[in-house]
């Protein structure tokens, strides 16, 4: 039985195809359309899933959309009416887009896939999140927490999964939203909502959480069980789609950070690509520290609310295993604290924890929750996207007159890669099926030597041009975690496979991997040979050569672009950037 899940029209559009309960293929639309965070109908991702399975739309038994459009439309209508006339612009926009496409998603699905009406089902946004977290987990029973910006009405749920059943026990509703609170601070700090949240998380360690009381006194009330209420006097996300906070918010925290201003403090580097050091450097450092303090404060509050929610979920369920989803599940710093500080012993988060993951969740929910079919699948890795055979890569290289070296002996190729990295070069690694979710985990990755702090600047100058406060992540062999990080027991769990866990670095080792040391912590990815043999062997060989079984791993893309999908995308990124060596499966290309 084939079931296709679809999510779109809000954040990341995606499609996921399951066969008899097992995932076959899944991808976010942005990888094909090349539009970052593309939320349009995921036509390309759907076609990829069908092609991969070798089927057509007619072969699908069901297509499930991840939420209920009419309920969401009702929320938008009611909120805009309550806030009229302030909300007239949102109202007008909503009428155009919702009456245009969003409400009639059923007919679009029918048109694009050719399935009949009766085969099209609609999930619920948070149930899809919960299903995406529980069903592909290895747990027979687990507590479930979902937290995001907003679905139809719901912004957070607590529940229980047992076998094929999911029960949501409690929920919090719009406009009370931890995700939207975090997003309001994201916008205030000069970053794009739904995109810059992880930048706030990256900025936080450079500040002190000075404003926690201010946030609790004015913006959010939190009960001992973690239930929360947002004081809407300070926000405008319920009536504006341009601004998320209002002038009262600015009275509390001062003027918003200018997005054009370079962020640096006395604790960050001042990289050469910022140009010459300004004459008022110290003054600008202080100004930036104020914003870092705000980032640290909202990050801390978010962690505290999540810890309360998780603790009360434990009290209520007595379970030792937890599954999490929703955009807030991507807050890797909070995830590290949940594992280290609450009674939950095991945590499962799948790599596409945000709205893209709703596609997977809605398909699995139809199969297990609605049809009662037994579970038979655990999501052991993130490699569910498209792959490109050698023949196709060769055709691409030759038709574009690109010279290459072909390695039939894998270990020779891996030795070359490691030699280059040890020599300080930056390598683009393209292999296998691309990753599900926002992180590059070794199949569309840029790899570099993590030992010296200069490598951070070098990767930024060559490729990324990112703010110097944004961390690069370490990939580490699972057997070596305890040598470098505190919490080696928790790093053996799923979130670390998907780079969804921040752990403190051991003091005697933090200088040995300076390029991936983020103020004494690392957002690590762990790797086991069976998950990705080639990637594992590269890190292992690097460890044998240098004594450090860790590499710097960052996503293979240019700033502002989605991660590369095809050999052509990869070659294009390689040509436009300072990447020294490109590996496309068994082909090696040098500058
Ligand atoms: Fe969501």
As residues whose CB is below 5 A from the ion ligand 1, the structure lists 148, 355
Residue 417 Cα, ligand 1 centroid: separation in angstroms? 39
**215 CA distance to ligand 1 middle (Å):** 24
Q: What's the gap in Å between 364 CA and the centre of ligand 1?
A: 16
| Structural contact between residues 553 and 446, judged by C-beta atoms closer than 8 angstroms | yes
Q: Supply the pLDDT for residue 446.
A: 97
pLDDT at 460: 86
Ligand 1 centroid to Cα of residue 12, in Å, is 10
Q: Which residues pair with 504 in a beta bridge?
A: 521
Distance from the alpha carbon of residue 10 to the mean position of ligand 1, in angstroms? 9
Distance CA 374, CA 228 (A): 36
Q: What is the model's pLDDT at position 329? A: 83
In this prediction, residue 69 carries a pLDDT of 83
CB 335 within 8 A of CB 526: no
DSSP code per residue over 436-481: SSS---SSEEEEE--SSTHHHHHHIIIII---TTSPPEEEEEGGGH
- Cα radius of gyration (the chain): 23
Residues 6+ apart with CB under 8 A from 90: 76, 80, 239, 240, 241
397, 157 contact by CB (below 8 A): no
The residue ranges of DSSP E strands in 44-136, in sequence order, are 62-65, 120-122
- Residue 199 CA, ligand 1 centroid: distance in Å: 19
- The alpha carbon of 43 and the centre of ligand 1 are apart by a number of angstroms equal to 20
CB neighbourhood size of 387 (10 A): 14
User: Ligand 1 centre from 353 Cα, in Å?
Assistant: 9
Report which of residues 550 and 265 the model is more confident about: 550
What's the gap in Å between 183 CA and the centre of ligand 1?
Answer: 13
Contacts (Cβ under 8 Å, ≥6 apart) of 27:
14, 15, 45, 48, 49, 384, 385, 386, 434, 436
Element (H, E) at 250: helix 247-253
Name 282's Cβ contacts closer than 8 Å, sequence gap at least 6: 266
Question: What residue has token string 């979920």?
Answer: 313
Summarize the confidence of residues 534-554 as an average pLDDT: 97
Q: What confidence score (pLDDT) does residue 94 get?
A: 73
C-alpha 358 – ligand 1 centre gap (Å): 7
Q: In this predicted structure, what is the pLDDT of residue 338? A: 94
Residue 176 Cα, ligand 1 centroid: separation in angstroms?
14
Grade residue 266 by pLDDT with cuts at 50, 70 and 90. confident
pLDDT digits (tens, 9 = 90+) for 406-421: 999 999 999 999 999 9
Q: Is the pTM of this model over 0.85?
A: yes
| pLDDT > 90? residue 281 | yes
Ligand 1 centroid – CA 148 distance (Å): 5
How much distance in Å is there from the Cα of 150 to the middle of ligand 1?
6
For residue 457, is pLDDT > 90?
no
- CA 232 – CA 79 distance, rounded (Å): 12
Confidence of residue 164 (pLDDT cuts 50, 70, 90): very high
Spatial contact of 67 and 358, defined as CB atoms under 8 Å apart: yes
Q: CA-to-CA distance for 320 and 451, rounded, in angstroms? A: 37
Percent of the chain whose pLDDT exceeds 70: 100
From the CA of 513, how far away is ligand 1's center (Å)?
35
Q: Using the predicted structure, report yes or no on whether residue 42 has a pLDDT greater than 90.
A: yes
**492 CA distance to ligand 1 centroid (A)?**
27
pLDDT above 90 (res 110) = yes
pLDDT at 90: 76
pLDDT of residue 157: 96
pLDDT, tens only, 344-379: 999 999 999 999 999 999 999 999 999 999 999 999
Contact 591/580 with Cβ under 8 angstroms? yes
Mean pLDDT of 125-146: 97
- Alpha helix positions (H), 88-124: 88-100, 105-113
Q: Supply the angle between the helices 410-422 and 533-546 in degrees, to the nearest 10.
A: 50
- Give the start-end residues of each E strand in 483-569: 502-504, 521-523, 525-527, 550-555
Q: Which residues contact 402 (CB under 8 A, 6 or more apart)?
A: 396, 571, 589
- Ligand 1 centre to CA of 466 (Å) is 27
Ligand 1: centre distance to CA 147 (Å): 8
Ligand 1 centroid to residue 273 C-alpha, Å: 36
455 alpha carbon – ligand 1 mean position (Å): 36
Model confidence pLDDT, tens digit, residues 249-263:
999 999 999 998 888
The CA 152 to ligand 1 mean position distance, Å, reads: 9
Distance from the alpha carbon of residue 88 to the mean position of ligand 1, in angstroms:
25
CA of 67 to the centre of ligand 1 (A): 9
Q: Please say if the pLDDT value at position 224 is more than 80.
A: yes
pLDDT of 98 higher than 90: no
Q: Please state the rounded mean pLDDT for residues 64-90.
A: 80
Which pLDDT belongs to residue 540? 98
pLDDT score at 227: 95
Report residue 142's pLDDT band, with 50, 70 and 90 as the boundaries: very high
Phi-psi region of 15 (alpha: psi -120 to 50; beta: other; left: phi over 0): beta
Greater confidence, 101 or 503?
503
The DSSP string of 346-412 is EEE--S--SGGGHHHHHHHIIIIIIT-PPP------SB-S----HHHHHHHHHHTT---EE-SSHHH
CA distance 80 to 94: 9
pLDDT above 80 (res 241): no
Peptide bond into 348 cis (omega under 30): no
User: For position 239, what pLDDT does the model report?
Assistant: 81
SS3 state at 17: strand
For position 242, what pLDDT does the model report? 79
Residue with the two structure tokens 């209002």 = 246
Tell me how far the alpha carbon of residue 536 lies from the centroid of ligand 1, in angstroms: 33
Query: Which DSSP helix (H) or strand (E) runs through 590?
Result: strand 587-590
Question: Which residue reads 């390309």 in tokens?
Answer: 44
Task: Calculate ∠ Cα 152-358-243, nearest 5°.
Answer: 50
Q: 101-108 long-range contacts, Cβ below 8 Å, gap at least 24?
A: 101/9, 101/41, 102/9, 102/69, 102/73, 103/69, 103/70, 103/73, 105/8, 105/9, 105/41, 105/65, 105/69, 106/65, 108/41
Q: How far does residue 439's CA lie from ligand 1's centre (Å)?
A: 18
Q: Is 93 exposed, middle or buried (0-12, 13-18, 19+ CB in 10 A)?
A: middle
What is the 579 CA–ligand 1 centroid distance (Å)?
35
Please tell me the distance between residue 146's alpha carbon and the centre of ligand 1 in angstroms.
Answer: 8
Find the 326 Cα to ligand 1 centroid distance in Å.
5
Residue 151 CA, ligand 1 centroid: distance in Å: 5
Decide: 345 and 322 in contact? Cβ < 8 Å: no
- Of 2-6, 28-32, 202-206, 292-296, the least confident: 202-206
How far is 323 from 318, CA to CA, in rounded Å? 14
pLDDT digits (tens, 9 = 90+) for 469-526: 888 999 999 999 999 999 878 888 899 999 999 999 999 887 889 999 998 999 999 9
Q: From CA 526, how far away is CA 137, in angstroms rounded?
A: 18
Q: Would the CA dihedral through 575, 465, 496, 180 be positive or negative?
A: negative
CA of 5 to the centre of ligand 1 (A): 15
How much is the mean pLDDT over the chain? 93
List Cβ neighbours of 349 (8 Å cut-off, separation of 6 or more): 133, 323, 324, 325, 329, 335, 494, 495, 498, 500
DSSP class of residue 61 equals S
Residue 196 confidence (pLDDT):
86
Q: Is the pLDDT of residue 295 over 90?
A: yes
Amino acid 465: pLDDT: 77
- Centre of ligand 1 to C-alpha 574, Å, is 34
If you measure from the C-alpha of residue 491 to the centroid of ligand 1, how many angstroms do you get, rounded to a whole number?
26
Residue 103: pLDDT above 80? no
pLDDT for 176 equals: 95
The pLDDT, as a whole number, for residue 28 is: 98
Q: What's the pLDDT score for residue 96?
A: 73
- First and final C-alpha spacing in the chain: 48
Compute the distance from residue 445 Cα to the ligand 1 centre, in Å: 27
298 CA from centroid of ligand 1 (Å):
20
The predicted model gives 117-140 an average pLDDT of 96
Q: Separation of 127 CA from ligand 1 center, angstroms?
A: 10
Q: What is the whole-number distance in angstroms between the Cα of residue 31 and the centre of ligand 1? A: 20
**What are the CB-based long-range contacts (under 8 Å, 24+) for 460-465?**
460/271, 460/273, 461/271, 461/272, 461/273, 461/578, 462/426, 462/577, 462/578, 462/579, 463/426, 463/554, 463/558, 463/559, 463/573, 463/577, 463/578, 463/579, 464/554, 464/559, 465/273, 465/559
In angstroms, rounded to a whole number, what is the distance separating the alpha carbons of residues 366 and 60?
Answer: 13
């Amino acid at each position: 039985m084939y079931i296709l899940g679809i999510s779109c029209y809000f954040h990341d559009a995606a499609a996921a195809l399951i066969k008899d309960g097992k995932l076959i293929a899944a991808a976010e639309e942005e990888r094909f359309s090349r539009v970052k965070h593309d939320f349009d109908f995921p036509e390309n991702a759907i076609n990829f899933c069908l092609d991969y399975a070798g089927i057509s739309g007619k072969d699908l038994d069901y297509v499930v959309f991840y939420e209920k459009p009419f309920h969401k439309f009702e929320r938008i209508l009611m909120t805009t009416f309550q806030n009229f006339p302030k909300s007239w612009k949102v109202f007008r926009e909503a009428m155009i887009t919702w009456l245009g496409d969003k409400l009639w998603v059923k007919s679009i699905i029918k048109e694009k896939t050719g399935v009949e009406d009766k085969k099209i089902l609609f999930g619920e946004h948070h149930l899809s999140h919960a299903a995406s977290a529980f069903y592909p987990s290895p747990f027979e029973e687990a507590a479930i927490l979902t937290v995001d910006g907003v679905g139809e009405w719901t912004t957070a749920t607590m529940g229980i999964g047992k076998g094929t059943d999911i029960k949501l026990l409690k929920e919090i509703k719009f406009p009370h939203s931890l995700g939207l609170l975090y997003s309001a601070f994201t916008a205030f700090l000069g970053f794009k909502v739904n995109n810059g949240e992880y930048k706030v998380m990256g900025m936080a360690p450079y500040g002190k959480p000075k404003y926690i009381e201010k946030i609790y006194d004015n913006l959010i009330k939190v009960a001992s069980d973690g239930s929360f209420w947002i004081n809407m006097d300070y926000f405008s996300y319920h009536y504006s789609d341009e601004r998320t906070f209002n002038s009262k918010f600015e009275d509390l925290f001062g003027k918003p950070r200018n997005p054009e201003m370079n962020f640096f403090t006395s604790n960050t580097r001042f990289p050469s690509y910022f140009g010459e050091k300004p004459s008022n450097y110290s003054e600008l450092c202080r100004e930036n520290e104020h914003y870092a303090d705000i980032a640290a404060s909202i990050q801390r509050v978010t962690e505290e609310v999540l810890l309360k929610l998780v603790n009360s979920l434990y009290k209520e369920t007595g379970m030792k295993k937890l599954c999490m989803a929703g955009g807030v599940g991507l807050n890797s710093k909070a995830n590290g604290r949940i594992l280290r500080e609450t009674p939950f012993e095991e945590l499962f988060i799948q790599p596409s924890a945000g709205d893209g993951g709703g596609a997977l969740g809605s398909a699995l929910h139809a199969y297990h929750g609605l049809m009662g079919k037994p579970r038979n699948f655990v999501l052991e890795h993130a490699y569910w996207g498209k792959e490109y055979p050698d023949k196709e890569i060769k055709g691409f290289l030759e038709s574009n007159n690109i010279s290459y070296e072909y390695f039939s002996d894998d270990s020779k190729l891996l030795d070359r890669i490691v030699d280059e990295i040890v020599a300080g070069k930056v390598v683009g690694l393209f292999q296998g099926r691309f990753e599900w979710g926002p992180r590059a985990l070794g199949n569309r990755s840029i790899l570099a030597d993590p030992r010296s702090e200069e490598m951070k600047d070098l990767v930024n100058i060559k490729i990324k041009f990112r703010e110097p406060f944004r961390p690069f992540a370490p990939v580490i062999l699972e057997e070596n975690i305890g040598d470098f990080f505190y919490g080696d027991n928790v790093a053996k769990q799923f979130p670390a496979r998907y780079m969804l866990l921040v752990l403190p670095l051991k003091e005697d080792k933090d200088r040995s991997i300076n390029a991936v040391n983020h103020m004494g912590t690392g957002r690590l990815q762990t790797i086991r040979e069976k998950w990705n043999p080639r990637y594992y062997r590269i890190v292992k060989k690097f460890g044998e050569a240098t004594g450090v079984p860790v590499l710097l791993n960052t996503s293979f893309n240019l700033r502002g672009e989605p991660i590369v999908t095809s050999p052509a995308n990869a070659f294009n990124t390689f040509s436009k950037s300072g990447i020294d060596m490109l590996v496309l499966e068994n082909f090696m290309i040098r500058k």
